[in-house]
Structure 1
Amino acid sequence: MPTISRKGELMPQSPIRKLVPYAEQAVKDGKSIYYLNIGQPDIKTPEVALKAVRENTVEILSYSKSEGSEVYREKIAAYYEKHDIHVSETDIVVTTGASEALLFVFGSIMDPDDEVIICEPFYANYIAFSVASGVNVVPIVSKIEDNFALPSIEAFEKLITPKTKAILICNPGNPTGYLYSKEEIQKLTAIVKKHDLFLIADEVYREFIYDGNEHYSIMHEEGLDEHAIMIDSVSKRYSMCGARVGCLVSKNKSVIKTVIKFAQARLSPPTYAQIASEAALDTPQSYFDDVIAEYIERRDTLIAELQKIEGIKVTKPKGAFYCVVELPIKNSDHFAQWLLEHFDVNGETVMVAPAGGFYSTPGLGLNQIRIAYVLNKESLIKAVNIIKEALKVYKD
């Protein structure tokens, strides 16, 4: 009998999506579900983006350039200029979501068995991308007690080996909502320059920064041009997850040249989605002001409700729209499935993401969940109450 690959066996299930069959069965059983498991905003997509697709005059839906439409890349560069990031369209490759950007980066800068250091907990698909690329993730733990702040330089340097090629961060973070400070970015800059590594920053949540804080990009750092690779996406910024358009940005010409070879192999990013994404860049600032104000209210509502539950720990995110919650249980995978299969309050239950899948160190995060506060405040209050009532009767 033919067998599947070792790589296929190692490919992890998504902690965000693996409970979908149980959720579908719960709905068939007549339950209503509050979906806190996935970062799918309920914020409306900017009308300017939708209108661009509806009213376009395309007669042949043809390929674009492999690196993306030149006009679109020029507009992306202009967007970054407004954020004091000085790049040209030749420093940008448009990809099918930030996911493809990361796959292209891993393939361009790392060989099989090379290593990438990532602060955990981290976006679960980083493990999938590393497995697909034959790359080894070397985790460095950030702790809920420290609000998931950057570990010490000494902790990083203990992990660097001849096979280490890069450090990867998400800023602000998924799943933690942690925002790296300018000082922390500068510490990372010093490490990668000292050891001649790449610094990859997933900055897809850059617009969602709270409490008067500011986002400091790795692209702001002088002298980092050969080391810095930024990952970005329209998915969260414009509530356009289904467009599947992202990009990678680097001033390292060898990186861009190599990435384009990967881009050529998959031909081109989607044309209609680029049309929508280009138009979305004309979204007025008032849209973001309203969205950020809404997320701040949701975050504050969520944290306030969670803090009413005895025995939990939760940090206050400074960005993105996620938080990690530590519960008085042993196994959040079991708890999340039990919520869908066996528990409800007046016919309503909750779907959460077990946090163990956001760690690569075995045994960590097993009593934690990630909550995406992408629902309205009334729904968040009801969802947290369901978790509160569930914890009163749940047995590990």
Structure 2
Amino acid sequence: MPTISNKGIAMPQSPIRKLVPYAEDAKKRGTKVYHLNIGQPDIKTPKVALDAIKNNDIEVLAYSRSEGSEEFRTKIAAYYAKNDIHVSATDIIVTTGGSEALLFTFGSIMDAGDEVIIPEPFYANYNGFSTASGVKVVPVISKIEDNFALPPIEEFEKLISPKTKAILICNPGNPTGYLYSKEEIQKLATIVKKHDLFLIADEVYREFAYDGLTHYSVMQEAGLEENAIVIDSVSKRYSMCGARIGCIVSKNKAFMATALKFAQARLSPPTYAQIASEAALETPQSYFDDVIEEYVERRNTLVSELQKIEGVRVANPKGAFYCIAELPVESADDFAQWLLEKFDLNGETIMVAPAAGFYSTPGIGLNQVRIAYVLKKEDLITSVAILKEALQIYNA
């Protein structure tokens, strides 16, 4: 019988999607499921992006350039300039989502057996991308009691070995919602320059910064031109998850030339989605102002409601639209499945993402869940009421 590769066997399941069959079964039983498990915003995609697809007169849906159309990349550069990030079209490669951007980056800078240091908890698919690339994730633990701030820089330094090629951060963070300060970015800049490492920053949630705080990009840090790599995407910014358009941004010429070879091997990013994404860049600031106001209200509602439940501890996110909550249960995995299989309150239940899958250290985060506040305020209040009742029954 033909055998499956060791790499394939080692590929982790998505903690965000692995409970989907249980959710589907619950819906078939007539139970309403509130989806707190996935970062799929309910915010409408900008009309200008949808109109660009509806109103174009393409007769042949042809390949684009492997690095993305020059017009689109030029407009992306102009978008960055508005955010005090100064790059040119040649510093940008358009990818099929931020996921492909990460795969191309790992493939370009790391060989099998090399290491990347990542503060955990981190976006679960980093585990998958590293496994696919034969790369080892070396975690440095951030803690809920510190609101998941950057761990002390000495903790990073202890982990650097001859195999270390990069430090990877998500800013603002998925799953924590933590927004790194300028000072924290500068500490990382110092250590990557000292040890000749890359600093990869997944900045797909850049727009979502709250409480008067502003996002500071690794591309804004002077002297980091050879070290900094930004991963970006239209998915969350414009509520266009299905477009699958992202990009790599870096001023390191050798890295970009290498990443382009990976881009050429998969031919080109999708043409229609580039058209929509290019149009989305015309989205007025008022759209983001409204969206941020909405998310701040949702965050405040969710956090304050969770804090009312005895035994629940929650970090207060300063960006993105996720938070990590620690529950009074031994296994969040078991509890999340139980919610879908065996529990409902007046015909309704919730779906959460067990947070252990956002760590690579075994045994950490077993009683934590990630909650995405991508539902309207009333639904979040209902969801937390369901959670409170569920915890009482589950623990009884």
Q: Same fold (TM over 0.5)?
A: yes
Q: C-alpha offsets along residues 357-389 of structure 1, whole Å, 9 cap, x if unaligned? A: 000000000000000000000000000100000
Q: C-alpha offsets along residues 144-182 of structure 1, whole Å, 9 cap, x if unaligned? A: 011101111111110000000000000000000000000
Q: C-alpha offsets along residues 111-169 of structure 1, whole Å, 9 cap, x if unaligned? A: 00000000000000000000000000000000001110111111111000000000000
Secondary structure, counterpart of 2:151 in structure 1: coil
Q: 2:318: which partner in 1?
A: 318
Alignment of 1:197-208 (within 5 A): 197-208=197-208
The gaps in structure 1 that reach 5 residues or longer are: none
Q: Using the TM superposition, give the Cα deviation of residue 36 of structure 1 relative to its aligned residue in structure 2, in angstroms.
A: 0.1
Q: 1:341: which partner in 2?
A: 341
Distance 2:148 2:368 in 1: 13
Secondary structure, counterpart of 2:349 in structure 1: strand
Q: 2:69: which partner in 1?
A: 69
Establish whether residue 251 from structure 1 lines up as the match of residue 220 from structure 2. Answer: no
Q: 2:30: which partner in 1?
A: 30
Establish whether residue 174 from structure 1 lines up as the match of residue 156 from structure 2. Answer: no
TM-score, with structure 1 as normaliser: 1.00
Distance 2:20 2:312 in 1: 25
Q: 1:379: which partner in 2?
A: 379
Distance 1:42 1:147 in 2: 26
Distance 2:152 2:337 in 1: 36
Establish whether residue 296 from structure 1 lines up as the match of residue 296 from structure 2. Answer: yes
Q: 2:305: which partner in 1?
A: 305
Alignment of 1:95-244 (within 5 A): 95-244=95-244
Q: C-alpha offsets along residues 213-252 of structure 1, whole Å, 9 cap, x if unaligned? A: 0000000000000000000000000000000000010000
Distance 2:8 2:27 in 1: 31
Distance 2:152 2:387 in 1: 35
Q: Using the TM superposition, give the Cα deviation of residue 315 of structure 1 relative to its aligned residue in structure 2, in angstroms.
A: 1.1
Distance 1:361 1:312 in 2: 22
Secondary structure, counterpart of 2:363 in structure 1: coil
Distance 2:236 2:156 in 1: 30
Q: Using the TM superposition, give the Cα deviation of residue 47 of structure 1 relative to its aligned residue in structure 2, in angstroms.
A: 0.1
Q: 1:11: which partner in 2?
A: 11
Q: C-alpha offsets along residues 309-367 of structure 1, whole Å, 9 cap, x if unaligned? A: 00011011000000000000000000000000000100000000000000000000000
Distance 2:120 2:154 in 1: 16
Secondary structure, counterpart of 2:180 in structure 1: coil
Secondary structure, counterpart of 1:394 in structure 2: helix
TM-score, with structure 2 as normaliser: 1.00
Secondary structure, counterpart of 1:168 in structure 2: strand
Distance 1:288 1:394 in 2: 40
Q: C-alpha offsets along residues 53-89 of structure 1, whole Å, 9 cap, x if unaligned? A: 0001111000000000100000000000001111000
Distance 1:154 1:265 in 2: 40
The gaps in structure 2 that reach 5 residues or longer are: none
Q: 1:43: which partner in 2?
A: 43
CA RMSD of aligned residues (A): 0.6
Q: Using the TM superposition, give the Cα deviation of residue 395 of structure 1 relative to its aligned residue in structure 2, in angstroms.
A: 3.7
Q: Using the TM superposition, give the Cα deviation of residue 305 of structure 1 relative to its aligned residue in structure 2, in angstroms.
A: 0.5
Q: C-alpha offsets along residues 27-63 of structure 1, whole Å, 9 cap, x if unaligned? A: 0011000000000000000000000000011110000
- TM superposition outliers: structure 1 runs of 4+ over 6 Å: none
Q: 2:53: which partner in 1?
A: 53
Percent pairwise identity:
77
Distance 1:209 1:149 in 2: 15
Distance 1:119 1:218 in 2: 16
Distance 1:211 1:52 in 2: 34
Distance 1:99 1:195 in 2: 27
Secondary structure, counterpart of 1:174 in structure 2: coil
Distance 1:247 1:189 in 2: 22
Secondary structure, counterpart of 1:387 in structure 2: helix
Q: Using the TM superposition, give the Cα deviation of residue 8 of structure 1 relative to its aligned residue in structure 2, in angstroms.
A: 0.4
